[in-house]
Structure 1
Amino acid sequence: MRIVLANVPHPAIGSRSAKDHLPPLGLLAVGGPLIDAGHDVRLIDADRDNTPLPALIRTIARAAPDAVLFGHSGSASAHPVIAAVARGVADVCPGVPVVYGGVYPTYHWREILTDEPYVTAIVRGEGEETIVRLMAALERAPDRTALAAIRGLAFRGPEGPFATRPAPLIRDLESYRVGWELIDPARYRSWGGLRAVAVQFSRGCPQDGPHCGQHGFWTQWRHRDPVRFAQELAWLHREHGVRVITFADETPSASRAVWRTFLEALIAENVDLILVGSTRADDIVRDADLLPLYKQAGWTRFLLAVGHTGPDTRARIGTGGSSGTDRAAIRLLRQHGILSMATSVVGCAEERDRDHWRGLRRLLALDPDQIQMLYVTPHRWTPFARDAADRRVIQTDRTRWDGKHQVLDTRHMAPWRVLLWVKLKEAVLQGRPRALARVLFHPDPGLRRAMRWYTGIGFRMWIYDLARFMVERRTRRGPTLAAFQGTPHETHAAAMETPAERIHERAVVLIPKHPRRRPTGGVVGPKREAQAD
């Protein structure tokens, strides 16, 4: 089959304000298994060039696909754009199956299949194995009667939207490979213009945080083979000149023993890489004696979730750490020449001026190198959606549900006051003398360059946020969260099979697995990639 993987232009401010872009890892992850299954696969990355939607639809149609696959990291903000492109593809390519995957469709499958007739099927949970089975079924049976035998799907049955049993977890993450040959790495840049890709060492998070859907979506924390993963990163550097590796994991370092094996394996490869990603402050403190290995392997910056503002926010949006642990982690990273970025969430219902003031003082005491301010976003598949069910939605445009816009009301503060507190925190944290001294005079030229790059992006976004707020439409008295997005899914948040379900399993439809092939050749060259522009 001729399969098109379509990455739509994402409306999130991070995608539109920054010049740098990373390849769509989720689509590459399903692209590799589809190629190994014998399909002709092409990636059209409209997000990279912010391709207008009509031009993207025409490009997809020119590819004459037998199936079109949409996916994203699962954000709610991407869905309206995917819906518009899918509708256009259905108009110009009638009868071509449209398949949609990611976190958002996994938990909103019923609404999507009810309201969007142009979507043929939704892949729920991990997609590598399910998508291969789905394409085989569509190729054999155009009437789609075979879909009911495939686990991890949702589609329209005789009585309306129907979901099959959850798919089993992919326990061996080496079973399927990333389709790196679908991209030209030279077209993807980060860290101020360096060639970059996103990777995933592990899936899931051992912490079941109420604001996060990682635990429910992935069901269980798993990891790649640490040695083979290090070899793959070294291959990306040697064969394709990749310098920056962004980890898409929530907690890649959850297992100290496995993580140490990976660090030592990557050091043995002797490649000059810049590694950036997220982890928990607890893991940094736990690995105080391993931080020289972190640095030697190439780790340059860690994002740490710290600094929530209001007292009820800290109680409900926990990260498993404490102020003392956060402070210790930041200091340890600094001692070993690794940057820290503190992520702080605002927007709890009971916040007042004094809570924001305390939050600012706490962030100053933590003394991170960089700061990222986010607004709490109550995704339906998280327990926080239950806690916030009665709060009013002030932003009904889902493209703004990206963590950088206020979407819920705050009981004691108008949106403009919340915005001013956020902008004040960003200005103080990034503009204080100590922070500016690091940006201007840090002894490590690589870190100095990185901080200047990020500071430049932050300044542009700071101005953009203020200007956009003036013209952005908000609803003063919008619907409650429960009315806007439906019943929270906390009680059935597991996207894939749980151990209890495996015990009661009666039959499993098996298909041969395709052996994992090590990337061997080039990538899609500039000529073919240009056709997607």
Structure 2
Amino acid sequence: MRILLINAPHPSIGSRIPDDHLPPLGLLAVGGPLIDDGHRVKLLDAEFGPMSTASILREVVTYRPDAVLFGHSGSTSGHPVIAALSRAVAQVLPDAWIVYGGVFPSYHWREVLDEEPQVDVIVIGEGEETGRRVMAALENNRPLSDIPGVAFRTAEGRARSTGPAPMIQDLDACRIGWELIDHARYSYWGGKRAVVAQFSRGCPHLCNYCGQRGFWTKWRHRDPVKFARELADLARNHGVEVINFADENPTSSRRVWKAFLEALIAENVKLILVGSTRADDIVRDADILHLYRQAGWERFLLGLESTDEATLQMIRKGGATATDREAVRLLRKHGILSMASWVVGFEEETDADHWRGLRQLLAYDPDQVQLLYVTPHRWTPFFRLAAGRTVIQLDRRRWDYKHQVLATRHMPPWRVLLWVKFAEAVMQLRPRALWRVLTLKDPSVRRAQRWYYQMGRRVWPFELWNFLFRDRRVKDGPTLAEFWGAPQDAGEQSMQTRPARLALVKVS
């Protein structure tokens, strides 16, 4: 079959403000097995530009695929874009199959099939194995009902799901289709050639607002030596300089993680590694952090979220401020930048809470900060807790963690924004932070930190401009449950596969 993978444009994502652009790992992961099955596969990355709908349709008509596969890492906020684009594709290519995958359609498959008649098949959960089975069924006119992990319409027009697909046990069996991209087009970290990679899937912790934990079901990892070899190949044969890890928690197993670090060091390639992890894992690995740095780690994002005990208990975040502070200290000691992720927008927040949060961030003393707005997903337990809150952002393209979507009881949106922008400015412009930028000894880390400041100078005013002149909020919006529908946390796979006694496990 002729298959076209489309990475739809998504202007709402603030990461487009820098000039750098990363490849769509999810579509490449689906594309590799399809190529190996003998299909002719092409990737159309419409994020470049971004491409207009007319330009995309010209490419579609020229290629004339038998099937068009849509997916987007933005998921919830990307769905409106994919819905509109897939309608347009169906009009110019009515005989092509349209297949849709990702976190959002995996949980909203009923609504998508009811509201988007152009979508033929939805892949639920991991797409590598299911995608190849779907393509084989469509090519040979076999029933989709025999394939676990899909949703489609019956002959009577009713949406039907075949249930969850078996979890992929061997992540090394599904090859990434790196040949689908021109590596020279993709960069990060200030113009350095870059890719997104994934060592592990899932997270062993149960943050109740996380939109990923149920999708991946449980924590699994690649073979450490094979993964290190793949990264080394990207560096040697494709000129890749930066690896951006897509993992939620790659360091979950100290033994496995240490084996990967040692394997990558043995490959003797120069790579810059960036990603996310738990502060607890950094403190746990205090004695091997030199291996982190030797392997190429330059920055870790640490999810700190809140210091308010009631909020931490509500979101089951766990962690301890002393551990968070120690993790930042240890990373700095080993020449690794720390980025503190901080979430605001909880219902009972006040000016005093924001002031306390800023003081705590100052005490943590991270190199970088990332402030986000709480964004509940219907399939997470947190959605049930927030179901009665008022929605102020009706444009679903803005549900991307960088826009306020829910009202807070004690503060109007403009004041929440001012606190966020004030906190960002204080954290990055305080004398201690500026002095570090000027005096960092490692030239690579110094360059990375300066690039972060250059990016911030563009993003900070852009978000203010959007809030004032582009984003449209409502005062008397619907409740969260009225806007999205009934809670779906009973269908979250991770909640079905873990014993109830783990419900209060502390997480990062």
Task: Calculate the TM-score normalised by the size of structure 2.
Answer: 0.96
Q: How does 1:383-402 map to 2 (within 5 A)?
A: 383-402=381-400
Closer, same or farther: CA 496–138 of 1 in aligned 2, 3 Å:
farther
Deviation, structure 1 residue 461: 1.0
Q: How does 1:321-360 map to 2 (within 5 A)?
A: 321-360=319-358
1:154 maps to 151
Q: How does 1:519-530 map to 2 (within 5 A)?
A: none
Deviation, structure 1 residue 499: 8.9
Instruction: Give CA-to-partner distance per residue, 1:401-424, whole Å, 9 cap, x none.
Output: 010000000000000000000001
In 1, the alpha carbon distance for the partners of 2:123 and 2:87 equals 18
Tell whether the 8 Å contact from 1:307 to 1:362 is kept in structure 2 after alignment: no
Q: Which residue identity lines up with residue 287 of structure 1 in the other structure?
A: D
Tell whether the 8 Å contact from 1:167 to 1:497 is kept in structure 2 after alignment: no
Q: Which residue identity lines up with residue 146 of structure 2 in the other structure?
A: A
1:491 maps to 490
In 1, the alpha carbon distance for the partners of 2:85 and 2:386 equals 31
1:31 maps to 31
1:479 maps to 478
* SS at structure 2 position matched to 1:373: strand
Tell whether the 8 Å contact from 1:65 to 1:96 is kept in structure 2 after alignment: yes
Instruction: Give CA-to-partner distance per residue, 1:84-125, whole Å, 9 cap, x none.
Output: 110000000002110000000001110000000000010000
2:83 maps to 83
2:253 maps to 255
2:102 maps to 102
Tell whether the 8 Å contact from 1:377 to 1:402 is kept in structure 2 after alignment: yes
Instruction: Give CA-to-partner distance per residue, 1:495-521, whole Å, 9 cap, x none.
Output: 899599xxxxxxxxxxxxxxxxxxxxx
In 2, the alpha carbon distance for the partners of 1:393 and 1:75 equals 19
* Structure 2 stretches lacking a partner, 5+ long: 500-508
* Matched pairs, number: 497
Tell whether the 8 Å contact from 1:166 to 1:496 is kept in structure 2 after alignment: no
1:512 maps to none
Deviation, structure 1 residue 309: 5.9
Deviation, structure 1 residue 12: 2.9
Closer, same or farther: CA 375–223 of 1 in aligned 2, 3 Å:
same
Q: How does 1:312-461 map to 2 (within 5 A)?
A: 312-461=310-459
Q: How does 1:227-266 map to 2 (within 5 A)?
A: 227-266=225-264
Tell whether the 8 Å contact from 2:103 to 2:212 is kept in structure 1 after alignment: no
Tell whether the 8 Å contact from 2:347 to 2:408 is kept in structure 1 after alignment: yes
Q: How does 1:275-286 map to 2 (within 5 A)?
A: 275-286=273-284
Task: Report the RMSD for the aligned CA atoms in angstroms.
Answer: 1.4
Deviation, structure 1 residue 213: 2.6
Instruction: Give CA-to-partner distance per residue, 1:255-297, whole Å, 9 cap, x none.
Output: 0000000000000000000000000000000000010000000
Percentage of pairs with the same residue: 64
2:18 maps to 18
Tell whether the 8 Å contact from 1:106 to 1:495 is kept in structure 2 after alignment: no
Tell whether the 8 Å contact from 1:169 to 1:496 is kept in structure 2 after alignment: no
Q: Which residue identity lines up with residue 163 of structure 2 in the other structure?
A: R
- Bigger relative contact order, structure 1 or 2, given CA contacts below 8 A and separation 6+? 1
Q: How does 1:133-144 map to 2 (within 5 A)?
A: 133-141=133-141
In 1, the alpha carbon distance for the partners of 2:201 and 2:61 equals 34
Closer, same or farther: CA 8–103 of 1 in aligned 2, 3 Å:
same
In 1, the alpha carbon distance for the partners of 2:491 and 2:445 equals 44
In 2, the alpha carbon distance for the partners of 1:210 and 1:347 equals 16
In 2, the alpha carbon distance for the partners of 1:64 and 1:494 equals 37
Tell whether the 8 Å contact from 2:228 to 2:263 is kept in structure 1 after alignment: yes
Deviation, structure 1 residue 382: 1.1
Larger mean CA deviation between 449-458 and 310-319 belongs to 310-319
1:516 maps to none
Give 4+ residue runs of structure 1 displaced > 3 Å after superposition: 309-312, 495-500
Q: Which residue identity lines up with residue 177 of structure 1 in the other structure?
A: R
Deviation, structure 1 residue 321: 1.6
Larger mean CA deviation between 230-239 and 59-68 belongs to 59-68
Deviation, structure 1 residue 308: 1.8
Tell whether the 8 Å contact from 2:184 to 2:193 is kept in structure 1 after alignment: yes
Task: Calculate the TM-score normalised by the size of structure 1.
Answer: 0.91
Tell whether the 8 Å contact from 1:207 to 1:320 is kept in structure 2 after alignment: no
Tell whether the 8 Å contact from 2:380 to 2:488 is kept in structure 1 after alignment: yes
Closer, same or farther: CA 101–319 of 1 in aligned 2, 3 Å:
same
Q: How does 1:156-195 map to 2 (within 5 A)?
A: 156-157=153-154, 158=156, 160-195=158-193
Tell whether the 8 Å contact from 1:122 to 1:155 is kept in structure 2 after alignment: yes
In 2, the alpha carbon distance for the partners of 1:194 and 1:147 equals 43
